[in-house]
Structure 1
């Protein structure tokens, strides 16, 4: 006789695809309460992390957008006011616009509106604010002093986001109604404590300057996306160019 190959018979207890009732669904052991709790917690953490990441991104983008719009409108109003007859000179008050800061190292067409004050209400408008305390900054046209400015590095316009790109030898120009004040960067301080107020003193400490002069100081928070420390850039006045009828910018801004 010739043997015939037959498929062996497998009982339910040996077939992993057959359940205890003879069905086709394997029996699954129920998860413990601890495993269920860990699973739910993990999902909540992932969801929370995604929500926070989206919120931070949205907040930075939205505050930049709002601040840029505010600054553009305020800058347009200031330039328009310059076309009217000059008003009597009065002391600048908090929040008042006095000109524009141009920093080619932060972009060929980079400019930021300058306003008095460094309170959140002022800086959150997407501007560079003039220090009024702990030292009241000198104005660019003053015979001596330190024209000290601050701006946000992230959010609210982030006007000094690329301040770390500014290096010794770079030009910085302050534009007012009647003059272009051209400065040359002399020194930078990548990081210092936020309590180091001497960096904005009339003769700024740590700058290398040893006597009164006509200086400019730019400050912002560092590292990026934090406010733990301060970054500082110092410069000294090179010359003052009068504004002509066409407001032709100085050569430093035409490169």
Structure 2
């Protein structure tokens, strides 16, 4: 039989093709890890920590009639501590995200919404005035704010703590700003339309989706505080 000899060019093309295939497989595995596996791990961890927080709440004294326990004896939280849950109906029925102190990767990568501590210290919901500013990932690591762009003026947002439901309404959104724009989480957020101190909530995440080039923001103001009853009956906005 006659042996067919491949030219050097053909051999080179074959090697390049194999390398491209290998690179494609590696890239595909990396994307799967970034957008799927990190979600699985983050959701699992957030579920564990959230469950521990609810058990702690159940093991301590029940909320006082009329609520307001936080205002009577404000708790002190350290970085990473769980403080409650964020509920955003516009992100899906039953949406619930654990809220923890801090916005470092170690905190946010566990599928939570993190409370800003820098460059401004976020005011807690029970404080007389200030901006309760939160951040969460838009893709990977739980992607809790993946669909944050769904929110619009008038949408409800609820922050659940041990003793109270804090009900907010969206007043304004900012589709895109510089990632260095710290004014969006200031005590009176720049660009929000607010002009004096109040009780505000700010949600931030990266944009466009699958990038961290810019930031988007959603601003809301407190409309009421409902006490938690013995059955933890959610407010009408979550039913």
Q: Give the structure-1-normalised TM-score.
A: 0.85
Displacement of 1:67: 0.9
SS of 1:82 mapped into structure 2: helix
Deviations 1:130-176 (A, max 9, x none): 00000000000111100000001111111111111111110000001
Deviates more, 1:70-79 or 1:126-135: 70-79
Aligned to 2:65: none
Which of the two has greater helix per residue?
Answer: 2
SS of 2:171 mapped into structure 1: strand
| In the alignment, structure 1 residue 33 sits paired with structure 2 residue 33 | no
Deviations 1:34-90 (A, max 9, x none): 232123212211221122112221332111111111111111111111121279643
Structure number with larger C-alpha Rg: 1
Aligned to 1:76: 51
Aligned equivalents of 2:52, 2:116: Cα separation in 1: 22
| In the alignment, structure 1 residue 53 sits paired with structure 2 residue 24 | no
SS of 1:132 mapped into structure 2: coil
Deviations 1:7-59 (A, max 9, x none): xxxxxxxxxxxxxxxx8x7x96x443123212321221122112211222133
Aligned equivalents of 1:191, 1:46: Cα separation in 2: 37
Aligned to 1:138: 123
2:181 counterpart (193, 196, 212): 196
Aligned equivalents of 1:33, 1:220: Cα separation in 2: 51
Displacement of 1:112: 0.3
| In the alignment, structure 1 residue 90 sits paired with structure 2 residue 75 | yes
Unaligned runs of 5+ in 1: 1-22
Aligned equivalents of 2:21, 2:42: Cα separation in 1: 32
Q: Give the structure-2-normalised TM-score.
A: 0.91
Displacement of 1:184: 0.3
Aligned equivalents of 1:138, 1:231: Cα separation in 2: 20
Tell me the matched-pair count.
Answer: 229
Aligned to 1:103: 88
Aligned equivalents of 2:199, 2:167: Cα separation in 1: 11
Deviations 1:80-101 (A, max 9, x none): 1112127964321111111100
1:152 counterpart (122, 126, 137): 137
SS of 2:190 mapped into structure 1: coil
Unaligned runs of 5+ in 2: 63-68
